[in-house]
Amino acid sequence: MAEQVDVVVIGLGVGGEETAGRLAQAGLDVVGIDPRLVGGECPYWGCIPSKMMIRAANLVAETRRVDGMAGRATVEPDWAPVARRIRDEATDNWNDQVAVDRLVGKGVTFLRERATITAPGTVQAGDRTFEASKGIVVATGTVPVVPPIEGLAGTPFWTNHEAIEADTLPASIIVLGGGAIGLELAQVFARFGVAVTVVEAADRVLVLEEPESSALAQEVLERDGITFRTGVRAEAVSYDDGFTVRLGDGSAVTGEKLLVATGRRTDVRGLGLDAVGVDPSARFVAVDEQLRAASNVWAVGDVTGIGAFTHNAMYQANVAVLDILGADGAPRARYHAMPRVTFTDPEIGAVGLTEQQARDQGLDVRTAITQIPDSTRGWIHKAGNEGFVKVVMDASRGVLVGATSAGPVGGEVLSGLAVAVHAAVPVKELQQMIFAYPTFHRAYGEALKNL
């Protein structure tokens, strides 16, 4: 006998947890279903533990910068407190009881099951069936892509899960993929003494960002001792105590461990999307600007294929919640000012379009770039001051459509640029601003002058 509810939320990562909690707090009868940990990738195997690792690795690097600037310091990196902090403080030893209690406390009925949509408005989970009068929210996220490389399947390779759970570090590691996950973890491992080789099939790392970002990231990570092999594909993997990866140019790289960080994909097998008219074979669940995927079906977060970031999942959850509640003036999702930060040291923040994306859209593009070491604050900062600010202007509208802020606290410096792109603040207006001296963000004041 089906149980009557208002909404069923399938998947309780950041997007689903936020959606379910908000709808329940608004008084709806909500069921939230997830076979794994409430909170999903971000708190247990993603953003939070990886940023704890980065904090530790940056402390090591900053200590090494004392010599020549503030005396002498030595640091003996030790992974044990990092692993302990991730186990004890970030993940409660990968136990989500606190998150479950928080969700249930908001009034959500929680089931630790895998959900299947069996008919419009109907969801099966374990031996229970729910009929949702208002609808279903799909928030099932993504899983790591494991490329079809000969010999890879069946080897004990790492994904982000094993990398985040590691109690001890290997002597050496091959990182397949030079995206955000690959670079952030590669730098952490290198700073803790691991010999790291990054293999990236494209001709540059951070391929979706400005080429200047790719060059900077590779240059500073090489100074951390990381070896890069770009523009070559991994063709075969063998494992015998350690890994050997044969590359397209006939060469090979070896490592005690292999981290596969070659992107993410949805895993909607058995979810029953076809029962509600959503194509289960599409790469992502297509949504409109109210996050509607089909009649009485919404989708939020990574499963939508739009900006695989926690802040985007939260943003989309808000739009979907207000649409489901039929709120007056419910917002429509707009992604023209999507911010993102790769938390390497230096941080590489960006918002909106890259120069190439703007040109591909046929815009009348004008750009300007300033180097952080040439700014007063960058010069004062000295060791670890690498970075730049690049702004991308649509000259016909006189507004910024994109910007990159790389450097110490590059992700924080991004905030002003994000406001400018989001609100289409006229560049003429931005050029009249007073920028505090001597801050890092004065660098974009200088860039704006050159537009």
Ligand X SMILES: Cc1cc2nc3c(=O)[nH]c(=O)nc-3n(C[C@H](O)[C@H](O)[C@H](O)COP(=O)(O)OP(=O)(O)OC[C@H]3O[C@@H](n4cnc5c(N)ncnc54)[C@H](O)[C@@H]3O)c2cc1C
- In this structure, what DSSP letter does residue 304 have? G
120 touches ligand NAD (CB under 6 A): no
302 touches ligand X (CB under 6 A): yes
Dist CA 296 CA 430 (whole Å): 43
Dist CA 199 CA 205 (whole Å): 9
291 touches ligand X (CB under 6 A): no
301 touches ligand X (CB under 6 A): yes
CA-CA-CA-CA torsion for 406, 407, 411, 412, nearest 10 degrees? Answer: -130
Which class for 366: exposed (0-12), middle (13-18), buried (19 or more C-beta within 10 A)?
middle
96 touches ligand X (CB under 6 A): no
398 touches ligand NAD (CB under 6 A): no
Q: Which does 102 bind (CB under 5 to 8 A by kind): ligand NAD, ligand X, none?
A: none
User: In the range 172-191, which residues lie near ligand X by CB under 6 A?
Assistant: 181
Dist CA 205 CA 447 (whole Å): 25
Q: Per-residue contact track with ligand NAD, 138 to 157, x per CB under 6 A? A: ---------x----------
263 touches ligand NAD (CB under 6 A): yes
Which class for 164: exposed (0-12), middle (13-18), buried (19 or more C-beta within 10 A)?
buried
CB of 233 closer than 8 Å to CB of 152: no
Check the CA dihedral 307-308-310-313 and report its sign: positive
| 178, two tokens | 């030079």
Q: For strands 172-176 and 292-294, give the pairing.
A: unpaired
Taking the complex as a whole, the smallest distance from the CB of residue 244 to ligand X amounts, in Å, to 25
| 436, two tokens | 């505090």
340 touches ligand NAD (CB under 6 A): yes
Segment near ligand X (CB under 6 A), from 31-39, 126-134, 327-335, 440-448? 31-39
Q: Which does 294 bind (CB under 5 to 8 A by kind): ligand NAD, ligand X, none?
A: none
160 touches ligand X (CB under 6 A): yes
Nearest CB to ligand NAD, comparing residues 264 and 390: 264
Q: Is 180 annotated as a binding residue?
A: yes
Give the residue closest to ligand NAD by C-beta: 179
User: In the range 191-250, which residues lie near ligand NAD by CB under 6 A?
Assistant: 199-202, 207, 233-234
313 touches ligand X (CB under 6 A): yes
Q: What amino acid occupies position 208?
A: L
How many residues bind ligand X (CB under 6 A)? The answer is 37
Dist CA 298 CA 19 (whole Å): 10
266 touches ligand X (CB under 6 A): no
**Beta strand extents in 43-107 (DSSP E only):** none
Residue set of the binding site for FAD:
51, 302
- Binding residues (CB under 6 A) for ligand NAD: these are 147, 176-182, 184, 199-202, 207, 233-234, 261-264, 308-309, 340-343
Residue set of the binding site for NAD(+):
177-184, 200, 263
